[in-house]
Every structure is written in C-alpha cells, then in structure tokens.
Structure 1
Amino acid sequence: MTETPAAAPRVIVGVDESETARWALSWALGEARLRGMELLVVHVAPVPPYAAAAGVPGHGAACGLREAGGELITRLLAELQEGGGCGATRVSGMTLLGAPGDALVRLAREEDILVVGRGTRGPLSRLLRPSVHRHCAAHARATLVCVAPPTIGRLTVPGAAQERPLRRRPWWRRHEQDHTGG
C-alpha cells in the first residue's frame, strides 16, 4: 500500500473589496514569509439570492463572478508588489462560488492557517450578509486568525502612556467657572 505524501501546510486568506481584507492579506503574507509557507489568496463570490433560488447560476453568470474575483486578486497582489512585494513567498490565487464562510472552511485543512478579516458591522448588515469570521470560528478545523484593522485607540504615541488624560467636566457643569486659582 502506497501512501500519498501529505500536502504542505498553507496560509489561506479570504479576500473581498473591503479594507479589512487588505489588512488580513498583509498579515497573511507576513505569516507565510515567516513560516516559509505557500500563501493562497481566495475570493469567494456569494451567489446572488435570485440565482440561488433558481438553482445553479448559469455558465455566463458563474464566469462573470469568477472573472471579477480573479481581477480582484490580481489587483490586491499588484498592490502588495508596489508596497514591498511578495519576496520569495509562493503565492497563488483561487476564486470560488458559494457562501464565503462555508467555502473557506471546506478549503482549509487541519494543518493550514486560515486568515480572515474581522470588520465591525451592524446587526442589519450581519442579517443580510452573515459574518464570515464567525462562521469560520464555529466550523474551521484549521488554525483561524481574525485580523481587525487598527483603530486610533490601538495606535500608541511614544511617551503618551505617562501623560494623564485630560479630564472634562460633565456637560451639566461646563458653565461653572474654575475657582481653584489655576
């Protein structure tokens, strides 16, 4: 009986048009470089509800969605090249059709690292488009990394930790004069 060699682990990153996906892609590239792993950039085009209700989308619609995903991956990788390049890291791209969370979970093997962006959306947006990172957190066998974009509160300024924050008076006392002599 001959065993097939196990495929090498990969860093798989799910991308879309969002800024959060760009942060996730940058993080995934750094991790792939650090570990000497292949980077697989994946765009999953959600099937439009009207097409899903009618069954499998027609050949023309599927090709159009995949072409748009391929163009997105090409554009994102070109941005990476401009910003310092992918170096010696092996990078490949893949476009799929379906539910993004489900497709990423099925694609990622146990030894892979799955990277997704984690944005902040409201309840209505999550109702209309389910959260990919939550689906992956619940179902992925691979190591999952959810990358959130930095916020102003997370950025630090040297020396700012020693300074005391400004204290503002409550709104109901702002009209009062400061009679402490200073």
Structure 2
Amino acid sequence: MSRVVVGVSGAPGSLAALHRAAAEARLRDAELWAVLAWQSPGNELGSRNGLGPSAWGECRAAAVERLREYLDTAFSAVKPSVTLAGLTVRGTPGAALVDVARDPEDLLVVGTGSRAPLRRLVRPSVARYCLAHAACPVLVVPPSPLQAELESVHRRNLWRIPLDPRELAS
C-alpha cells in the first residue's frame, strides 16, 4: 500500500501540512504516516555526555506523547478517515523525513515555517532539505494566510505598536 508521509512539529504550518496530507492520503487510498523527529538534549553532544538508557527512554516517551497531542489536536473535530500511523524518529527533521519516505511511491508532505531572516540563520529549512534529498515526490504546503496576520499581531504586540482604529474598518 502506498504511503503519505508528513512531518509533524506542532507548529501551525505543520498542522496545515497534516490536514493536506490526510486529504492526499484519501485521494490516493494510501496510509498516512505522521512523523515527529526528536533529538536528545544537546543534540549529538548530549549523546557523548553519557545519557543513560533511562534518559533516552524519557526523551523518546516525551516525543511519543507530543506526537499524540498533536494528532489529537489536529483531528479532534474530524477524523482523517484513512489508516493513520504515528512514528517518532531520533534525528534532524529533514533527514528523518527523507529516511522514512524512501520508497519512490511515497508522497512526502512538509509545511513551510516562518522564514524570517533570523530563523533562517538559526534553523535550516526542512522543506528545502526534503526537496533536495527525497527519493519520492515532495509536496510543500504554504502557511495559512491567517498565519501571516497572526505573526503581524505578535510583532505589533512585541514592539508595543498601538492599533490604528482605521485598520479595523478594512
């Protein structure tokens, strides 16, 4: 059976990608695989500092719980009506998604996050990584137009810019 693999992070863009992936899975009569990538505290440095098996188990359990919460939030109102599998993978998001969606018959769905200049320096684009390295088709889902408005409101609040009442009329 073919698969639609989708990256899940809890971000609003990830939620849009998850809903689009569910729609694609219904169209293709495919399984929906929701993948959450996780890393140990300190990333690879943490693995060299002697994290014991219990710490690894706690990190993995926390990732599994986060994935359950994200899926419950995403599908609380309407169930996806396809076979849904959740998978947590230790690693960076792009590499983990490309590794899971390695069959040419798969479809990999990723959301685009905020691409503010500072975030580009700190966190590389998962979508770009997947487009460059995936062995299967990749569908990149843009953020909701409401997301840009929400980010604008957050910036306004951060910089304490007063609301102009004329903006409410439009």
* Interval containing the TM-score (normalised by the shorter chain): 0.7 to 0.9
Shift of residue 138 of structure 1? 0.7
Moved more, 52-61 or 73-82: 52-61
1:166: which partner in 2?
Answer: none
Distance 1:35 1:24 in 2: 16
Shift of residue 26 of structure 1? 0.4
2:116: which partner in 1?
Answer: 122
1:53: which partner in 2?
Answer: 45
1:150: which partner in 2?
Answer: 144
When you count helix as a share of all residues, which structure comes out higher?
2
Alignment deviations for residues 50-93 of structure 1 (CA, whole Å, 9 cap, x no partner): 34125455423322332222112212222344221122x11011
- Give the RMSD, CA atoms, in angstroms: 2.2
Shift of residue 118 of structure 1? 0.6
Compared with structure 1, are the counterparts of its residues 51 and 24 closer, same or farther at alpha carbon in structure 2 (3 Å cutoff)?
Answer: closer
Contact 1:21 1:117 in 2 (8 A): yes
Matched residue count:
145
- The residue type equivalent to 2:68 in the other structure is T
- The residue type equivalent to 1:143 in the other structure is P
Compared with structure 1, are the counterparts of its residues 144 and 14 closer, same or farther at alpha carbon in structure 2 (3 Å cutoff)?
Answer: same
Contact 1:62 1:97 in 2 (8 A): no
1:160: which partner in 2?
Answer: none
2:97: which partner in 1?
Answer: 104
For residue 72 of structure 1, the aligned residue among 60, 66, 69 is: 66
Contact 1:20 1:117 in 2 (8 A): yes
- The residue type equivalent to 1:73 in the other structure is L
**Is there any run of 5+ residues in structure 2 with no aligned partner, and where?**
149-170
Structure 1-normalised TM-score?
0.71
Aligned residue for 2:135, secondary structure, equals coil
Identity %: 38
**Misfit runs of 4+, over 6 Å:** none
Structure 2-normalised TM-score?
0.76
Shift of residue 36 of structure 1? 0.8
Shift of residue 112 of structure 1? 0.2
**Is there any run of 5+ residues in structure 1 with no aligned partner, and where?**
1-7, 155-182
